[in-house]
């Protein structure tokens, strides 16, 4: 009897935790504007009108940023294919990590932590902010983490241009505060952040 109750409690706990994750829908890999048009319209935006992003748009955005387009290979290059960057997603509901293989946002912290991003006129009005975190144990060198994050950011810019969203790459934030908020290790380094949202 006790074993049965324990198993039931464990099952409920696991389901409660996993229910906080966000299962993404399959990304749409066709359509959008032609590449040359997206390049022509790529620009930085700092004024957003807050709206929640539909799950399909979120899934498409993350796949364009850092998804897999063939076995163990992503939509962006990385130095020696080390894939040392993790993409954190900050929503008003919490902090998540993008798991491209399982197409899921795994919750890391529940709650609204957007104040840690600084510049609330930008971060509070964007639908979300992408945070690029380089694992220096995996990187070939420190510079590689920043360069590879830049590839991701450009894909985000082009996706946004393709669908009419706005974005801006930011290096202006208090690194120790955000590092602590994300509960990162000494071997993890935030390269920069990139809010994405609806243009005001």
* The predicted structure's pLDDT at residue 4: 55
- What's the pTM? 0.89
Six-digit token pair at 46?
């700092």
Domains of the chain and any CATH numbers: 32-199 (3.40.109.10)
3-state SS string for the chain: CHHHHHHHHHHHHHHHHHCCCEECCCCCCCCCCCHHHHHHHCCCCCCEECCCCCHHHHHHHHHHHHCEEECCEECCCCHHHCCCEEEEEEECCEEEEEECCCCEEEEEEECCCHHHHCCHHHHCCCCEEEEEEEECCCCCCHHHHHHHHHHHHHHHHHHHHHHCCEECCECCCCHHHHHHHHCCCCCEEEEEEEEEEEEC
- Digit-by-digit pLDDT tens for the chain (200 residues) are 555 555 444 444 444 445 599 999 999 999 999 999 999 999 999 999 999 999 999 999 999 999 999 998 999 999 888 899 999 999 999 999 999 999 999 999 999 999 999 998 898 999 999 999 999 888 888 899 999 999 999 999 999 999 999 999 999 889 999 999 999 999 999 999 999 999 99
Six-digit token pair at 97?
């990590």
């Amino acid at each position: 009897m006790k074993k049965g109750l324990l198993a039931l409690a464990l099952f409920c706990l696991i389901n409660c935790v996993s229910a906080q994750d966000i299962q993404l829908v399959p990304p749409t890999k066709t359509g959008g504007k032609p590449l040359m048009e997206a390049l022509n319209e790529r620009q930085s935006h700092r004024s957003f009108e807050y709206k929640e992003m539909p799950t399909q748009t979120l899934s498409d955005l993350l796949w364009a940023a850092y998804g897999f387009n063939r076995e163990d290979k992503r939509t962006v290059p990385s130095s020696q294919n080390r894939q040392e960057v993790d993409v954190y997603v900050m929503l008003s509901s919490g902090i998540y990590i993008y798991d491209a293989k399982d197409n899921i946002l795994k919750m890391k912290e529940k709650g609204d932590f957007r104040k840690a991003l600084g510049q609330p006129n930008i971060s509070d009005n964007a639908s979300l902010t992408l945070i690029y975190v380089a694992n220096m144990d995996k990187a070939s060198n420190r510079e590689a983490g920043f360069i590879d994050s830049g590839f991701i950011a450009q894909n985000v810019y082009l996706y946004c241009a393709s669908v009419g969203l706005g974005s801006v790459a930011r290096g202006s934030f208090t690194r120790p505060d955000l590092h602590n908020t994300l509960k990162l290790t000494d071997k993890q380094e935030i390269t920069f952040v990139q809010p994405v949202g609806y243009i005001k």
